[in-house]
Structures are given as structure tokens and as C-alpha cells.
Amino acid sequence: MKVLTECTIGIILLTCACKVQDGGGSTVLFQSGECKFNPKFFDNFTIRTVNNTVNLEMVTKRSFDRGFNVHVDFSIKMSKADRYQRVFAHTMDACAVTMALKKNIFKAWFQSMLAHGNFIYHCPVPPDHYYLRNWKVDPKLVPQYLNAGSYRVTGHFFYGKLKSKYEDPERRVEFVSSNATYNPKYFRSFSMCVSNRTLNMTMELLQPIQRGFKAHIDYQLRMPNAKTFQTIFSHHVDVCATVNSVKGGLFKSWFKSMTEKGNFMLNCPVQVGTYYLRDWEMGSSLTHQFLHPGEYRGKVYFFYGKYKTKTENRVLALTIDSVLYN
């Protein structure tokens, strides 16, 4: 990886290709694996995929302690594409994650590996022979927002500071276009437009918005030179529960930011009336840090009931095109 700087010590570079299948529960099929390692830290390091499982062998020369970092890159191969396109990335302190009380997807993966190898649960990790045998990802540990498809996961382990060409504190989103369709049972009118690369909307609500009002959000990416957008991941949100929650999150951050540019209510039920949003921008603090620059499309479906079933009652559909810059 051409992301190393003078203050970075590269230790391992792991690459694993896999397929995610969706059939009543996501299944990950590992297809291939390869690695490069720093001989200052390892006598040997091998990775193999056997019967859709991952197997590792490593003989370490030195202890690993806090400050041992990993940069994880997730890439997807779009349909009919010849190469993988980076979707998102994340950098973390590997020791801090394994020792933390708080559980997240990366710690859950590591915990599942413990049953298939002799990894140590805490740092420092002393020099020794370590292995992983026949590990596969439990369907419960596959992020629900990932669509079925071919993925490549690259893990770059290092000490020091990872310097990437993508790093820039001035991340920003510029809105390009928007479109909306609405259910006349719920709205007398609904309009949305992009002006000076900001988002504006006006709506006249006919019925109160109650608990159970949900949103299905599709994130789509357009590959370079491609004509169409393709979904990279999606997410369900209980709108009322999110805005009423004490706990923060990206979706709540978006909504709180919108209240500064409009007259939206901060809790449910939302009463009948006219609501507006004026000159709303999505600053660097409101973007997913793992998303890389490019052309994106957000498709948001608001509804009651259960998504894509007979009980679904579609209320509003929004499509917003934007460009993410660094």
C-alpha cells in the first residue's frame, strides 16, 4: 500500500476476497487470501482459505502492545466490473479494541476467532507461535447494511501514523440534485430542491407523524465512467425513536443540524402544519468518515408497517444526488 510514511512501521498487509450471499441470513464465503509481512516482527506468516474458511499461521519475534494499529479497507466489485472499488475504511488501535469493554463489530469478529485459534485476549502479546483454524464469519456478525456481492477486505497492521492521500480535514458534501414523491393522504404538498449546492424543502403535513414512522436509507455509489449508481449498503431507521433518543448517532446528528435550518419538531408526534428547511449543508462532521470521495446517491423511503410487505404504507420517497470532496 502506498500509504506508508517515514513515521510508520508496516508490519502485516492482509488481503482476503469473499462473497456475501443473502438467503434468509447473510453468508460469507471466503475465496482467497494473501499476505505480506515485515521480517523484523515475524519469522513466518501465512494465510490460506480452505472450504470457505480462513486459516492463519504466524511465528512472532516481538511483543505487540498498545499503539499496534490496523487500517481496514472494504472494497466491493460492482456487477459487470473488472476491479474492486473502495467503499469505506477504518483505522483503529488493535489492542484497545480487543481490551475494550464496549463491544463493536471488530471486537465481535475477534471474539469469534478465539474459539478457532490460540490468540491472546489482551496486550502485550508475547512472541510465540499463533494460529487460526477453519474460521468463518457467523451470519450474525455480518453487518446488515451490506448487500450481497463480491468484497475484498484489506488489513494493514502498523505502528506509528498512517498517512493517506485521502486524509483532509475539509471534507464536504455538495448537493447536486433532488427529487421527491409523496402520498397525498399524508401531505397536501411537498417540494424539495437544490440551490447553491444546499438542500431546501417545504412540506404541508395533513396527518400527524406517529411512532412507527420508519425510513429505509439506500447509499449508492457511481463508479468512475459508469452511467448508473449501485447500492453499496442500506439501513433501516425508526425515525421517531432516533429523534427522541438520548443517544447520539449520525442520523440524529443530521436531524439536529436540520433543526438549525428549519422548523422541524424535536419529538413525536409531529403535528399537522407547514414545515421547511432552508440552505442546509452537510459539513465534515456529518459525513461517514469511512466513505471516500466520489459521486453518491441517497434514496430514502419513509413508511409505516414492514418494509416490502403487504403491511407497508409508503409515505414519502426522496432521492438526493451529491458529491463528496476531501
154 and 188 share a domain? no
Beta partners for residue 244, in sequence order: none
| Same-domain check for residues 106 and 183 | no
Q: In the chain, what is the greatest distance between 2 CA atoms, to the nearest angstrom?
A: 70
- Is residue 299 a contact partner of residue 223, using CB atoms and an 8 Å limit? no
Return phi, psi of residue 286, to 5°.
Answer: -105, 10
* C-alpha cell read off for 253: 446528528
Are 132 and 12 in a shared domain?
yes
Closest CA to 49 of 36, 66, 32, 34: 32
Report if residue 2 sits inside a domain. no
Mean pLDDT of the chain: 82
Structural domain count, the chain: 2
Greater confidence, 310 or 146? 310
pLDDT of 57 reads 94
For the stretch 109-128, what's the b/e string if a residue is b when 16 or more beta carbons lie within 10 angstroms of its beta carbon?
Answer: eeeebeebeebeeebebeee
Strands (E), the chain: 8-22, 26-37, 42-50, 53-60, 69-77, 85-93, 129-135, 149-160, 172-182, 187-195, 198-205, 214-222, 230-238, 273-280, 294-304, 313-325
Q: Name the band, by pLDDT with cuts 50, 70 and 90, for residue 166.
A: very low
Is the pLDDT score of 238 beyond 60?
yes
CA 264, chain centre distance (Å): 27
C-alpha to C-alpha distance for 106 and 40, rounded to whole angstroms:
26
**Of 127, 160, 193, which residue sits at a domain end?**
160
Calculate mean pLDDT across residues 85-96.
82
Quick one: pLDDT at residue 101? 56
- Asked whether residue 147 falls in the same domain as residue 187, the answer is no
Q: Can you give the CATH number for the domain in which 198 is found?
A: 2.70.220
In 3D, which of 207, 228, 196 has the Cα closest to residue 316? 207
Task: Judge if 177 and 146 occupy the same domain.
Answer: no
pLDDT reported for residue 165: 43
What pLDDT shows up at residue 55?
92
Q: In whole angstroms, give the CA distance from residue 320 to residue 19.
A: 29
Question: Which triple of cell numbers denotes residue 136?
Answer: 468463518
Is the pLDDT at 191 greater than 90? The verdict is yes
Q: Is the pLDDT of residue 23 over 70?
A: no
Residue 110 pLDDT grade (very low, low, confident, very high; cuts 50, 70, 90)? confident
At 17, is the pLDDT very low, low, confident or very high (cuts 50, 70, 90)?
Answer: low
The pLDDT of residue 12 is 57
Q: Strand 294-304's sheet: what is its strand order?
A: 172-182, 313-325, 294-304, 214-222, 230-238
Q: Give the residue numbers spanning the domain of 312.
A: 172-325
Q: Are residues 12 and 150 in the same domain?
A: yes
Answer whether residue 231 shows pLDDT above 80: yes
pTM over 0.85: no
More confident residue, 34 or 166: 34
Altogether, the residues listed in the chain come to a count of 326
pLDDT value at position 277? 96
Averaged pLDDT, 93-102: 76
Q: Is 198 helix (H, G, I), strand (E, B) or coil?
A: strand
Residue 211 has pLDDT above 50, yes or no: yes
Does pLDDT of 274 surpass 60?
Answer: yes
Band (6; pLDDT cuts 50, 70, 90): very low
Contact between 303 and 315 under an 8 Å Cβ cutoff? The reply is: yes
Using one digit for the tens of pLDDT, what is the confidence trace for 130-144? 999 998 888 777 766
Average pLDDT over residues 69-93: 80
pLDDT value of residue 167? 37
Handedness of CA 141, 118, 53, 232 (dihedral sign): positive
Query: Residues of 188-213 as b/e, b for ≥16 C-beta within 10 angstroms?
Result: eebebebeeebbbbebebeeebeeeb
pLDDT at residue 11, rounded to an integer:
53
Q: On the CB side of 133, how many CA atoms lie within 13 Å of its CA?
A: 5
> Which of 18-32, 40-54, 110-124, 148-162 is predicted with the least confidence, judged by mean pLDDT?
18-32
* Residue 25 to residue 143: CA distance in whole angstroms: 11
| Residue keyed to cell 455480518 | 142
* Pair (61, 138) in one structural domain: yes
Q: Tell me, yes or no, whether 140 and 180 share the same domain.
A: no
Same-domain status, 107 and 189: no
